[in-house]
Every structure is written in structure tokens, then in C-alpha cells.
Structure 1
Amino acid sequence: MANDDLRDEDRIEALPDVTAESGNEDRDYVTSLARGLEVIRAFNRSKSRMTLSEVAERTAMTRAAVRRFLLTLVREGYAESDGKYFRLRPKVLELGFSLLSSMDITEIMQPVVDELAQRLQESVFVAVLDDDAVRYVARATTQRVVSIGINLGSRAPAHAVSTGRVLLSGLPEEKLNAYLDNAVLEKITPHTVTSKVQLASLIEETRRQGWAIVDQELEVGLRSISAPIKNRSGEVVAALNVCCPSVRLTTKEMQAQVLPELLDAASRISLMMLR
């Protein structure tokens, strides 16, 4: 087919190769968007935290341009900075939850998550911290029909879930204090902890014992238990979680039957992240 015979929809796919360096312009090509995406893509598992200069070097952009993109990402909640280093935040996952299955973090975790769900015959989730909430980035369910309102990409208040306790326990003291100062602890069920003093104590307990269990604080009739997933630096980067109906297992039974399997699975995922 000659180029002149292309339909309009085909012409969209046949855009010219336009780059900032070429000096070419096309009304259908947004250079600033392409550059912003390139900045996001510069971060990966081996380079999850970078200075402005490092991002500029990896993207072959000027420091001034990279600075604008990074500060925009920070302002919009897609990145964070401690004044020197920048890193992406979980909110960036909103840009493509339909493609989560192709992301490294899910590729690493999913086989273990699936195996744990099958072994326990309970629902299993992986969550990351997203401001004052947790965001679920991986899941596995079984043939048991259980009404659990947790979907891939959904969020839950950190104070009311065991994943939140685990993730908050991994924060540096200043960030944890900032969370406790600013958090609004909504009473979601009659069991939800709304005292900041009590929550701080539970987070400290989680830090000491290395796991957390929450009994019907997010949803009446639902218990959950979580353990940390750590990166090569020993930082808590995610929480592995098992949920089950309260009629099926008591909290003591969850500790006896679920916790050993949960800790083993979390440890295996953490070891995989060292590779």
C-alpha cells in the first residue's frame, strides 16, 4: 500500500521518528511528555534511588530539564525526594495497572503468592505504602468463595490493615512520626483502632516481632496477617498478606497455621529481590 493510501487511523501509527535532538516538530508528538516518561523509565530495580545528576546522565538530558520533570513528579505524588535522592512512589502504578503483571516486582512475587494461596486455600495479597494508605499490587485467590473487597490496584487505610502496620513499622522514625501526626484514623468498624498512642504501640510491636495481625478492623468478619518483604538494603518495600473469614480461623489459629507459611514465603520473596 502506498503511503498516500494510508487511512487516518494508520497515519497515527506511522508518526515520524521525532526526538528533541532532531529539531523536527510534529503537532501529534508531545516532546515534553515523551521526556517525562523517559525520566520515569530511568528508575529501575538496580537504580531505584538517584540524584538529579544520575537521572540526567541516564536520560542524556540537561540537569535543568531533569530538575523540572522530577519536581513535577514529586508535586504530583509520583516521586519523592529527601533533598538529594529521588525515587518513584507507588502512585506511579496508577499509570498502568492493567500491565502490572509485566512489572518486575510482580514477576518476582506472583509465583510465590500463587503457591501460598494454594497451600493455605486463602486469599493472598501484596501491598505497598502509598501516603496514608496501602495499595495492593499483587493477589491470588482460591476456589473458596470469599467476599473480600480488595482488587488489584485498590487502596485501604494503613491504620486499619495488617499490611499497613507492617509497612509503617519499616519507616524511619521521622517519617513514622509525621504519619502519626497527620493521620486521620477513621473508625471503619467497631474494632478499628483509632487511638494514635495505641496504633504507635502496635506498630512498635510489629517492628519487634516481624509480623502483624488485624482482627476485623477493616471489615467485620475478616481477619488478616502480614509479614514484611525486604530489599537488598534490608528496607521494608512491601507486605505479604493472608486474609481469611473470622469464622474459619481464630487469631491464635492464624498464628499457629498461617504465620509459619507466611514468614517462609515473605523470606523467599525477599531473597529473590537480592538477585
Structure 2
Amino acid sequence: MSVNERDFVQSIDRAFAVLRAFDARRPNPTLAELAEATELSRPAVRRILLTLRELGYVTDDTGHWSLTPRILTLGEHYSAANALVQAAMPHLVRIAERTAESASLGVLDNGWVIYAARVPVRRIMSINVAVGTRIPAYATSMGRALLAWAPEAVVAEVLDAAPLDRLTARTITDPAALRAELAGVRERGYALTFGELEDGLISLAAPVRDATGAVVGVLASSTSAGRSTPARLRAEVAPILLTHADRLSTELGYRPADS
């Protein structure tokens, strides 16, 4: 539901823009760097930072700003209140136990996949993977499993809005090729990527549906080429992931039409 101009609170929009500007490239930005990243004026950014500091969400040291641990409580509130996360956790634990690899729950957010829950087993990526981490949907198994059953308008927004970055030599960046891949995902019932987000990373994801049949998240298992192969994941991990995705969907109220 869109909000009309009268009801839209611009100050909240700007505050979140400043918070989102803290990322791996700018963990301790200056006021000037935040102003540039958000395209807001320095006085506006300064007022926002001072307010956030008073609330305990940011701190400053010799001209550089950083987030405080209190920011994590926002994610905790989401996890505690979100039925999908609560229901997924036992399945993630079981997947991790059965595969001896990390298991994750991902959701789609404007062309990105956000890790909504995760059970780590061992470090498999050089990037920092934690709840709240965002990764590009087009280059990941989680993203493709989410996009495969998404409305065409959502797919077009992700694949056609801007050129897709080639993250590795294996990354598929052609929108037509990606649409063909999404068709294959729908046919198989799961998505698998190998070395597209990061060299050597193998990941498999299966969709989770709610009571209406809409795909609201994905369960995923990840490993590295040093420990497994795409063929092994298809043969050994896909059945486990699909079983737990189906069970979780059932717990959320999904009933297949032919059941």
C-alpha cells in the first residue's frame, strides 16, 4: 500500500537512509561521507546523527561515526515477532545437522536477499554472513528461488532496471539467460549456483510458501568446492532441503491444490 505525500514522514526516511549508509565499505564514515552516500545536506545528516546518538544507535570518535550494538535489537525484535523466522529455526538446525554445512533462511527485499535467520557450521565465504546481511538476488541460489515464483514486475525490476555486475567469471549477467535459469528453477523446484557470488561457493535453495501459496522465503544450504560438488548437492542435499521447505510451508498453512 502506497502512502500519500501528506502521511509520508520524510525525517524517518532520511534517518533510515543514514543508517543504511553504514556498510562494509563505510563501517566508520565521516559526516561528509554519509552526506555524499545519502545525497543529503551535511546539516541534515548532522541532526540525524546527533538524534541517533542520543537514542544510543550510533557513536562518534574523532570525526568518524559507527553503529552501536543497540542497532542489533531492531533485528532481534523482527526475529521475535516474525512467524516465518520462528517456524524456520528448527528446520535450519536440522538441515545443518544433516548436511554438516551452514543453513539459512532468506527473504527478498528490492532486488536483494536478506538473511533473516542462519545456523552457521563453518565459515564458507570471505564476506561477513550474519542475520541482516544482504546479497544480490540475481547471482545467488536464494535470490533465484525467490525470483522464480515472483510476479514478472518484480523480476523485471531486478533483472532489467540496471546492468548486472559480474561478480565472478561465472556470474550470469544477461537478463534473458537469467530468465531461462528461473524457468529451470521452477521445473526443478530448487535453485543451485556455483561460483557466481564468490569463487568456489556452492549454494542450493528451496522455496517456502505461506497459506496463500506465495513464496515468502527460501531455505538454503551452502558449502565450498573444496568440500563438495554441485552434483553431490543435487543428489544429497536437495532432497533434504526440499523436505524441510515442504514441511515448513505446511506449518505456515500451505496446502497444495492436488493434496
TM-score norm. by structure 1 comes to 0.64
Corresponding residue to 1:96 among 74, 84, 92: 74
Alignment-derived partner of residue 107 in structure 2: 128
Q: Is the 8 A contact 1:94 1:153 kept in 2?
A: no
Alignment-derived partner of residue 176 in structure 2: 197
**What's the offset of the Cα at 1:113?**
0.7
Say which SS state the counterpart of residue 97 (structure 1) adopts: helix
Distance change >3 Å, CA 183–CA 133, structure 1 → 2: farther
For 1:71-115, what per-residue CA distance to the aligned partner results, in whole angstroms no more than 9, with x for missing partners?
559x9599xxxxxxxxxxxxxx99811334413221111111111
Q: Is 2:204 the partner of 1:225? A: yes
Q: Is the 8 A contact 1:123 1:141 kept in 2?
A: yes
Tell me how far apart the structure 1 counterparts of residues 243 and 7 of structure 2 sit (CA, whole Å): 38
Alignment-derived partner of residue 236 in structure 1: 215
Q: Is 2:145 the partner of 1:166? A: yes
Say which SS state the counterpart of residue 208 (structure 2) adopts: strand
**What value does the CA root-mean-square deviation take over the aligned residues?**
2.8
Alignment-derived partner of residue 188 in structure 2: 209
**What's the offset of the Cα at 1:148?**
5.3
Amino acid at match of 1:245: S
**What's the offset of the Cα at 1:232?**
0.6
Tell me how far apart the structure 1 counterparts of residues 203 and 231 of structure 2 sit (CA, whole Å): 12
Q: Is 2:235 the partner of 1:259? A: no
**After alignment, is 160-169 or 176-185 more displaced?**
176-185
**What's the offset of the Cα at 1:253?**
0.6
Structure (1 or 2) with the larger CA radius of gyration: 1
Tell me how far apart the structure 1 counterparts of residues 119 and 85 of structure 2 sit (CA, whole Å): 12
Amino acid at match of 2:146: L
Alignment-derived partner of residue 119 in structure 1: 98
Alignment-derived partner of residue 248 in structure 1: 227
Alignment-derived partner of residue 118 in structure 2: 139
Corresponding residue to 2:164 among 180, 185, 197: 185
Q: Is the 8 A contact 2:142 2:218 kept in 1?
A: yes
**What's the offset of the Cα at 1:145?**
4.8
How many residues matched?
196
For 1:159-194, what per-residue CA distance to the aligned partner results, in whole angstroms no more than 9, with x for missing partners?
110001011112112332333220431111111111
Tell me how far apart the structure 2 counterparts of residues 72 and 170 of structure 1 sit (CA, whole Å): 33
Amino acid at match of 1:274: G
Amino acid at match of 1:164: G
Tell me how far apart the structure 2 counterparts of residues 70 and 273 of structure 1 sit (CA, whole Å): 33
TM-score norm. by structure 2 comes to 0.68
Alignment-derived partner of residue 271 in structure 1: 250
Tell me how far apart the structure 1 counterparts of residues 160 and 220 of structure 2 sit (CA, whole Å): 26
Distance change >3 Å, CA 268–CA 146, structure 1 → 2: same
Corresponding residue to 2:136 among 144, 157, 160: 157
Amino acid at match of 2:80: S
**What's the offset of the Cα at 1:69?**
8.1
Distance change >3 Å, CA 250–CA 99, structure 1 → 2: same
Distance change >3 Å, CA 271–CA 256, structure 1 → 2: same
Distance change >3 Å, CA 234–CA 71, structure 1 → 2: farther
Distance change >3 Å, CA 171–CA 146, structure 1 → 2: closer
Any stretches of 5+ residues in structure 2 without a counterpart?
17-70, 255-259
Distance change >3 Å, CA 76–CA 269, structure 1 → 2: farther
Tell me how far apart the structure 2 counterparts of residues 130 and 116 of structure 1 sit (CA, whole Å): 24
Distance change >3 Å, CA 271–CA 123, structure 1 → 2: same
**What's the offset of the Cα at 1:118?**
1.0
